[in-house]
A and B are shown apart, each in its own frame.
Chain A
Amino acid sequence: MMLFLAKRFLGQKNERSVRSQIMLISFLGLLFVSAFVIVALAILSGSQKVYRDAVLNFNAHILIFHQDGLYEHEVKSINAFLLENTQGFHASGYQYHEILVPTKLGLKPVIVKGIELAQKKEVYPLSWQEEKNFSGDGAYLGKELYRSLQARGETFSYINAKEGLSLKQSLRIAGQFESGYFDFDERFVLMDLALLRKTFSKAQQVEGLEIRLNHVEELDVVAEALWQKFGDDFEIQTWKELNHSLFEALKLDRTVVFSVSLLVVMIACLNFFGFLFLFFMERRREFLLLNRLGLSKQGLGRLLVFVGLSVGGASVGLGSVLGLAFVFYLHKVGIALDPTVYFVDRVPVFLEPIWIVAFVSGALLLCWLTAQLAGMVLLKDKKA
């Protein structure tokens, strides 16, 4: 019965053009807002995920270092301690060196990071790619750096910053790595510690130790234990502390996008409220008549909620489908971005089903509340 009444009242047989236009506007408004929110959520969480994953994979969970470096026996005792106090871990010593690399865009400062290459996949779960038919010692270049090399071959040229600008030397290319984060992929060269020491005549001790736990949940406990044991001798940092400002920034991003989305949704709902209000005002006479024919006030309220939910639901539903379609397009085809500006080379998207469910049910709840509110406002002075 409700369906029958609602269908007729929403029908446009009688060319009430103003009503149908306003209806269309609020319908489309809610539709586009829904699509917008879905896409915004997808892009936001997509980029945050890329960013976060890249940063987390490039950096280890725990960093132990000292300004004079760590000696062999110190590394050993840390390893022994971790073996006892964790459910599994991988650690790699590291050392940094700075070089300049001629690229298509000119000389680029690059950081060479020496790591224990045998452990590379365990400590640094990046996407690693070996050069074909390569054997021996060589450097792994970040994907973007590799791409921007002036002359690509089996080796790449560099200038050792410490030795003056004129001395050009070269290193063999063992492969590439990709973190997904432009800054890392363009600024870093990874190689084995031994090669780093040999090439750049570095000291024998590592600057610090990077540790990746098999179970991240242990992080706080392990960090605390390390701190108790080695806190006086070394600097200890977890990735939470290390990336504190990054996470804060991500949180801020999220807050901003959520607030803007919320605001836009609210405006759309206000618009929708306007539509329902107008719809009801215009049909006051009819609703009153239905009331006189025996349709109770609750019945009228239900009718309005029905109208609100079906129109609102249809537009939120269609909007979400539209948004999802666009997200799917972004996922499959993608839109290219300038990586120097946006850290990534195309719009990243990521959506968890639960968010869609949450958004759609939230929007429907808002529609329902809006309808209830409009009904209440209008039924208040129904006696006439």
Chain B
Amino acid sequence: MLKVQNLSKKFAQHGATVSALSDVSFELPAGASLGVTGESGAGKSTLLNLLGGLEKPSAGQITFNDRDLLRMTDQEEAKFRQQDLGFIFQFHQLLEDFSVLENVMMPLLIGGTPRQQAEETAQIWLDKVGIAHTAKRFPKEVSGGEQQRAAIARGLIHRPCLVLADEPTGNLDEGNADHVFELLCDLNHDLGATLVMVTHHADFAKRLTHHMVLRDGQIKNWQTNLK
């Protein structure tokens, strides 16, 4: 269960403070999937970054499975990211110096899995996302869609129980976006992880169990989709 209470985030911008997120509260049951939509600048990425611990909130609380995500030491945070958290970034953010395969196996390596085993697992995941042929290539040598698939594989390979995805289909063409979305949903379903996905495709969000619309840093609409 992901529980967010009175979450706020203010940024100092040219002397003035900008409120990117104000007083956001919601609860998401374990295994549920939440689609977050809203206009550009509404605070979607900010929300996701706060959930992932990439930024610290100005106020509020976040707990996941009764764990306070805001009160973790550096070590605990690293451990949480290694074991429980899968992050799929807006701009797929692959490491340029590493091959696609190495990028995908990175979370396992960081978590201490032996190289050989990590490589085998990564190969399986590349297969799952359908880009096994790109294993040895470097990020610059593969297409945007393939990069995004690699990023998904990297976000899920360590079987996290909380997956955060920031516009994973953001810079893909229509057909590709649809494929990647389906893929992410399916894989997430297999893992049984809680998913929070930011997207600007409202119809994607409607296909998830929950749908949140943000505007000016506040929840404008919260909807539970019954299937």
Which A residues fall within an 8 A CB radius of B?
Answer: 1, 4, 8-9, 11, 13-14, 285-286, 289-299, 383
Contacts and interface: CB of A to CB of B under 8 A. Distances in A.
B200 to A, nearest CB: 23
Interface of B: 52, 54-56, 74-75, 77-83, 85, 87, 93, 95-98, 102, 106-107, 109-112, 115, 138, 140, 154
A294 B110 contact: yes
Contacts of A8: 97-98, 102
B78 A299 contact: yes
A143 B140 CA distance: 74
B72 to A, nearest CB: 11
A298 B95 CA distance: 20
Nearest to B155: A293
Contacts of B97: 8-9, 11, 13-14, 286
B79 A14 contact: no
Give the interface SS of chain B, mostly helix, strand, loop or mixed. helix
A383 B107 CA distance: 20
Given A11-B97, A383-B55, A383-B56, A293 B106 contact: yes
Contact of B52 (A4, A9, A292, A383): A292
A7 to B, nearest CB: 9
Given A13-B97, A14-B97, A295-B78, A290 B106 contact: yes
A334 B77 CA distance: 61
B110 A293 contact: yes
A295 B110 contact: yes
Given A4-B115, A296-B74, A298-B74, A290 B55 contact: no
28 contacts: A1-B109, A1-B110, A1-B115, A4-B115, A8-B97, A8-B98, A13-B97, A14-B140, A289-B95, A290-B106, A290-B110, A292-B52, A292-B87, A293-B87, A293-B107, A293-B110, A293-B154, A294-B78, A294-B80, A294-B81, A295-B78, A296-B75, A296-B77, A296-B78, A297-B78, A299-B78, A383-B55, A383-B56
A292 B96 contact: no
B105 to A, nearest CB: 10
A189 to B, nearest CB: 74
A295 B55 CA distance: 16
Contacts of B96: 14, 286
A11 B75 CA distance: 29
B111 A294 contact: yes
B81 A292 contact: yes
A286 B138 CA distance: 15
Contacts of A293: 81-82, 87, 106-107, 110, 154
Contacts of B154: 293
Contacts of B80: 294
A9 B97 CA distance: 6
Contacts of B102: 8
A258 B63 CA distance: 60
A316 B33 CA distance: 55
B10 to A, nearest CB: 15
Given A293-B82, A294-B111, 9 more contacts: A4-B109, A14-B140, A286-B97, A290-B95, A290-B110, A293-B107, A293-B154, A296-B74, A299-B110
Most B Cβ at <10 Å: residue of A11, A14, A285, A296:
A296
A1 B98 CA distance: 13
Contacts of A11: 97
Nearest to B107: A293
Contacts of A290: 95, 106, 110
Nearest to A11: B97
Contacts of A383: 55-56
Nearest to A286: B95
Nearest to B99: A8
A9 B96 CA distance: 9
A292 B78 CA distance: 8
Contacts of B140: 14
